[in-house]
Structure 1
Amino acid sequence: MLKLITLLLEQPPLVIMHGFNQHAGQMDSLVDQIKQQIPDIYIRNCEVGDGENATFYMTIENQVNELRTCILNDPKLANGFIAFGYSNGGMLMRGYLEHFNHLGPKILRFITYSAPLGGFFCGRSSTCVGKAVPPILDDLVADIIYTRPLQTLIGPTNYWRDPYNLDLYIKHCAYLPKLENIVNYSQQMKDNFLSPDLFVLFGSNKDGAISPWQSAWFGVFADDQDEIVLSMEERDVYVQDLFGLKTLNENGRVKRLNTGLNHMQYDTKEFVGMLVPWLVME
């Protein structure tokens, strides 16, 4: 009992970031259920811009800056926090981690639910029907998606990783190649990535929204097709340890957990039961 009380007294705050086409209020159910199990936890439920529209029309860089403002404006987060990012929110948390963790407040533990950490692609062998992308992307080709106007106008294009056009992706995708340290290599970003104690990555083979679903575990489609998926260990960026994922994994600090749930079940009793144990840091 004494140990439990001590853990709760030292419980770090939690920052939650909502997903694409959402607003912060849609995370309230998750917040309430977590508080039922950890009554003393402080939770900051962040908003990007005006919520739903901002996740579509705002670049990922600007969305990350909005998240940072939310964090900086809360003095209760000054000593660090556990990060939880749902879907697009997981990408934003990754952006904050790599760009700003050395400046603080620091992410102490990194947790995501069905986040497109390895990027997103659908539209050839892999259908886009029902996926978590703006419908307009279904009808656009890489030559258009990777133009500056589209990269500026539609946020999710900033992590659209087209396996048939990786040269265009590397040269013109506005955000994810930077996080992967493929372009403009930054040792500081790698150091920042390595700073949390654990990466807890919830994904699901029944997700149905992100493509491929293994992107939740840094997986990607193999080159020039969209049927075979490479695990994170099979990727060049992992082998070269460009942003620190190999080091983290070999140190036992990456946990890949298959929930068996669909993309929208982030606030269910089943998922909260899986999540809560990872919110207590010993």
Structure 2
Amino acid sequence: MIFHSFEALCIFVLLTLIVKSSETPTPVVMWHGMGDTCCSDTSMYRVKRLIEGEIPNVYVHSIMLGSSPEQDRRAGFYGNINEQIDVVCKQLQENAALKDGYYGIGFSQGGLFMRGLLQRCPYPKMKKLVTFGSPHSGISSPPECAKGDFICQGIKSILFNSAYSPSIQRNFIQAQFYKDPKRIDDYLKESIFLTDINNEIKINTTYIENIKKLEKFVMIKFSLDKTIVPNASTWFGFYNDMGDQIPLQDTTLYKEDRLGLKWLDESGKIDFLVCDGIHMQIKDEYLLQITSKYLRDSKTGRFIAQKQHYI
């Protein structure tokens, strides 16, 4: 193409930039944590609006189970997470806005479930995964409950007493990622969810292949987290045989690369981050930083920078 004036060249570049900058951003899919809902004004709706404000024209889908926010909240305590992941997978597959893939972001247990979705639901493709305070290696102690949250308190009592009974495993969400280091044999025998997605009993190569397809896996730990015990679980760490917390790199999961995490780490595709504060207390500024760095498409930014330099 030949330009007959500098002004014509500038107009061409400007129009090109406008077209490029108006491309539809990669959608974002969110999964909330225990006791929350898809659409609560003080949490998920606020997160949705913050992401939309940071990334113009982005489509944000907040996962909801059931036909109402209250049913969605109850689904965070009661049900079978294996079945719930199947339901969510179907929902996403039927959502035309996600057909070209999406970025996943999960909060607390929602991050663990989002990873289960990544491993079991390859279409639509999850391109990146960001988890905030998620128990990737499970919890060894029941979660702390808010004052007056009787559902949570009831679950806590059940975990202490009957976590590995078949009926509890089938019906109570937190029991399905409860990993008591003093009852490892019971855990390996009876857990219906965590042992599977962490490839602890047998190796599912499809899980490894799907994890390796990630462009980036971001795990965010809260520095003062006392809800996820051990806190190392948010980075795939856990306890060793002596009862000490160990990092991911010292676990059998990593050394034998039973999930593809070692490959991902050595490829520079895992970021281990720390958010100052207690569990799920995320400042807007920090969330916007994470959004800008990991949920915004980088290709458009590089294109614009090159063209500006050329002009």
> What is residue 104 of structure 2 aligned with on the other side?
83
The CA distance in 2 between the partners of 1:31 and 1:65, in whole Å, is 24
Decide whether the 8 Å contact of 1:165 with 1:224 is kept in 2.
Answer: no
- Indicate how the Cα distance of structure 1 residues 234 and 75 shifts in structure 2: closer, same or farther if over 3 A, else same: same
Q: Give the SS at the match of 2:77.
A: helix
What is the Cα deviation at residue 148 of structure 1? 0.5
Query: What TM-score, normalized to structure 1?
Result: 0.89
Question: 1:177 aligned to 187, 190, 195, which one?
Answer: 195
Shift, 1:137, TM fit: 4.9
Q: Distance in 2 between matches of 1:263 and 1:157?
A: 20
Among all aligned residue pairs of Structure 1 and Structure 2, give the percentage whose two residues are the same amino acid.
23
Establish whether residue 239 from structure 1 lines up as the match of residue 260 from structure 2.
no
- Is the CA contact (8 Å cut-off) linking 1:151 and 1:174 kept in structure 2? yes
CA distance in structure 2 between the aligned counterparts of 1:272 and 1:157, rounded to whole angstroms = 33
Q: Is the 8 Å Cα contact of residues 113 and 266 (structure 1) preserved in structure 2?
A: no
State the SS of the aligned residue for 1:134.
helix
8 Å CA contact 1:8–1:38 kept in 2: the answer is no
Helix, strand or coil for the counterpart of 1:276?
helix
8 Å contact kept, 1:163–1:224 = no
Code of the aligned partner of 1:64: I
1:31 has 2:48 as partner: yes
Paired with 2:17 and 2:272, the residues of 1 have a C-alpha distance of: 28
**3-state SS of paired residue (1:24):** coil
Change (3 A) 1:263 1:129: closer
Determine which structure has greater relative contact order: mean sequence separation of CA pairs < 8 Å that are 6+ residues apart, divided by chain length: 1
Deviation string 1:34-58 (CA, Å, 9 cap, x unpaired) is: 1111112111111123211111111
Deviations 1:81-115 (A, max 9, x none): 000111111111111111121xx001001111111
Q: 1:157 maps to what in 2?
A: 175
Offset of 1:224 from its aligned partner?
Answer: 5.8
SS of the aligned residue for 2:76 comes to helix
Q: Specify the alignment match of 2:309 in structure 1.
A: none
Matched residue SS, 2:257: coil
Match of 1:146 among 157, 160, 164: 164
**Contact 1:87–1:116 (Cα < 8 Å) also in 2:** yes
**Cα shift at 1:280:** 1.8
Quote the offset at 1:267 in angstroms: 6.2
Q: Could you list the runs of 5+ residues in structure 2 that have no partner in the other structure?
A: 1-13, 299-311
Report deviation, 1:265.
2.2
Task: Between 109-118 and 133-142, report the one with greater CA deviation.
Answer: 133-142
Q: Whole-Å Cα distance in 2 between the matches of residues 191 and 239 of structure 1?
A: 17
Q: Do the aligned residues in 1 keep the contact of 2:63 with 2:88 (CA within 8 Å)? A: yes
Q: Secondary structure at the match of 1:44?
A: strand
Alignment partner, residue 250 of structure 1: 266
**TM-score of the superposed pair, with normalisation by structure 2:** 0.81
**Compared with structure 1, are the counterparts of its residues 29 and 172 closer, same or farther at alpha carbon in structure 2 (3 Å cutoff)?**
same
| Counterpart for residue 45 of structure 1 | 62
Cα distance in 2 between the residues matched to 1:4 and 1:238: 45
User: Relative to structure 1, is the Cα distance of residues 93 and 7 closer, same or farther in structure 2, using a 3 angstrom cutoff?
Assistant: farther
Alpha-carbon distance between aligned partners in 1 of 2:282 and 2:108, rounded to the nearest angstrom: 10
| Aligned length, in residue pairs | 274
Over the aligned positions, Cα root-mean-square deviation in angstroms equals 2.4
Distance in 2 between the 1:4 and 1:216 partners? 41
Distance 1:138 1:234, change over 3 A: same
Q: What residue identity is the alignment partner of 2:175? A: T
Q: Partners of 1:93 and 1:58 in 2: how far apart? A: 16
Distance 1:13 1:272 in 2: 16
Pair 1:63-2:84 in alignment: yes
Q: Are the structure 2 counterparts of residues 165 and 7 from structure 1 closer, same or farther at C-alpha, using a change threshold of 3 Å?
A: farther
Q: 1:240 to 1:30 in 2, by over 3 A?
A: same
1:220 and 1:202, CA in 2 relative to 1: closer, same or farther beyond 3 A? same
Q: Letter of the 2:131 partner, please give it.
A: T
Evaluate the alpha carbon distance shift between residue 4 and residue 65 of structure 1 in structure 2; reply closer, same or farther with a 3 A threshold. Answer: farther
* Residue among 195, 200, 214 paired with 1:196: 214
Counterpart amino acid of 1:149? S
Paired residue type of 1:245: L
Change (3 A) 1:59 1:223: farther
User: What residue is the counterpart of 2:128 in the other structure?
Assistant: 109
5+ residue gaps, structure 1, are none
Moved over 3 A (4+): 1-8, 128-134, 136-143
SS at match of 1:25: coil
Which one has a bigger Cα radius of gyration?
2
Whether the 8 Å CA contact 2:54–2:291 is kept in 1: the answer is: no
- Alpha-carbon separation, structure 2, partners of 1:92 and 1:61: 9
Shift of 1:146: 0.9
- Cα distance in 1, alignment partners of residues 258 and 251 from structure 2: 11
